[in-house]
């Protein structure tokens, strides 16, 4: 009997880098960056549940923003593609209002088709996934296929995607 590991798979014909003249890219660029006067977008695409740590993402974004020069702080935006309120999570609008009131935090709550989601990854400058217990990390894989850099926790499947090796190449 032959057994093996089959990793999560995504269609690289859907999740891919887009050109700046792609119609969906232009629309989302205008809806996200232009409309909000943002030059740098941190994207978080996860379910609003505790182990995905959405409140920590907001706090980390605030910390990042606060470390920028004063004249650059309004150039950054946190885009959270999730339900802002979830019975299994928290009220993220309240969290943002109370711990990061000066930050640009916007929510995308509409279910998107894969092509539009890919355009959202392309508009983002970095995708963050700091889940405390993650089997794989779908948003990180989608981001990598879209050629968008990722920031991950070193835990579970997230570290597997980073392909860390020790001094022996293991």
User: For residue 164, what are the contacts with CB-CB under 8 A and spacing of at least 6?
Assistant: 154
Pairwise CA distance, residues 143 & 124, whole Å:
9
Q: Which pLDDT tens digit goes with each residue over 56-93?
A: 999 999 999 999 999 999 999 999 999 999 999 999 99
What integer pLDDT is reported at residue 165 of this predicted model? 76
Structure tokens at 86: 């979830």
Span 160-166, mean pLDDT? 70
Strand intervals (E) in 48-149? 76-81, 104-108, 126-129
Give the total residue count for the chain. Answer: 170
Helix (H) or strand (E) holding 152: strand 150-152
Pairwise CA distance, residues 54 & 118, whole Å:
21
User: Which of 105, 112, 157 lies closest to 133, judged by CA?
Assistant: 157
Q: Which pLDDT tens digit goes with each residue over 93-145?
A: 999 999 999 999 999 999 999 999 999 999 999 999 988 877 677 888 899 99
Tokens 């850099």 correspond to: 149
Pairwise CA distance, residues 40 & 126, whole Å:
8
Span 150-162, mean pLDDT? 72
């Amino acid at each position: 009997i032959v057994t093996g590991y089959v990793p999560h798979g995504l269609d690289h014909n859907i999740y891919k880098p887009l050109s700046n003249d792609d119609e969906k890219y232009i629309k989302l660029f205008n809806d996200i960056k232009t409309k909000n006067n943002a030059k740098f977008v941190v994207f978080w695409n996860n379910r609003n549940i505790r182990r995905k740590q959405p409140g920590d993402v907001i706090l980390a974004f605030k910390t990042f923003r606060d470390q920028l020069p004063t004249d650059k702080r309004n150039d950054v935006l946190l885009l959270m593609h999730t339900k802002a309120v979830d019975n299994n999570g928290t009220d993220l609008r309240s969290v943002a209002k109370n711990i990061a009131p000066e930050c640009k935090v916007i929510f995308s709550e509409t279910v998107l088709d894969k092509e539009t989601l890919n355009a959202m990854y392309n508009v983002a400058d970095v995708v963050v996934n700091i889940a405390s217990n993650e089997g794989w990390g779908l948003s990180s894989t989608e981001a990598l296929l879209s050629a968008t850099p990722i920031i991950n926790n070193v835990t579970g499947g997230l570290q597997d995607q980073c392909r860390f090796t020790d001094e022996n190449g293991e």
